[in-house]
Amino acid sequence: MSYINPMLKPRITKITVNTCVGKSGEPLEKALKILKIITGAQPCVCRAKRTIRDFNIHKGEPIAAKVTLRGDKAMDFLKRVLEAVNYKIPADNFSEYGNFSIGIKSHLDLPNTTYDPALGIIGMDVCVNVERPGYRVSRRRWKRGKVGKNHRLTKEESIAFVKETLGIEVV
């Protein structure tokens, strides 16, 4: 797809890798180490928003970890993730605004990853943010504005962009 206006060409802005262990302590520390090894970036800890007594989770307790990747690191990691899922993504994984998510059951599915018995195995969610240039208008602090309806990315446009640039088969 060729775009006459460069402001209409979609791009991948960031990738968020999220894993939830459900409890603090040693399992969370292992998940943090695995995320750091896999992504090459420093993960941050996420805390529980509310208390869930059935799962023995308390409000404010650290239970998950996430990493946000941008630029070349994000594209390199995305290529590894796509190789793990055989370059196939269901169409249901795309949101109405063009973003998509991929679930990985085991971090060992990623290529060039070795098993360490001391760390164990974790699964993760990989969320890919696809947008057009100019979306910063809605996020900036000074003179914040809205992204117009015609400028928003749709699910179909995002699927076409991903098929063309990454060679993914959308099932």
Q: Is residue 2 assigned to a domain?
A: no
Confidence of residue 42 (pLDDT cuts 50, 70, 90): very high
- Answer whether 162's CB lies under 8 Å from 100's CB: yes
Q: Among 1, 38, 11, which residue's Cα sits nearest to residue 129?
A: 11
Please count the structural domains in the chain.
1
pLDDT tens-digit profile of 122-159?
Answer: 999 999 999 999 989 999 999 999 999 989 999 999 99
Query: What residues are paired with 20 via a beta bridge?
Result: 64
pTM of the predicted model, to two decimals? Answer: 0.86
Q: Is residue 7 assigned to a domain?
A: no
Q: Is residue 159 assigned to a domain?
A: yes
Neighbours of 67 (CB within 10 A): 22
145 is in which domain, residue-wise? 15-170
Q: Is residue 10 assigned to a domain?
A: no
Q: Is residue 6 assigned to a domain?
A: no
DSSP string covering 42-97, please? Answer: --EEEE-SS-BGGGTB-TT-EEEEEEEE-HHHHHHHHHHHHHHTTTEE-GGGB-TT
CATH number for 68: 3.30.1440.10
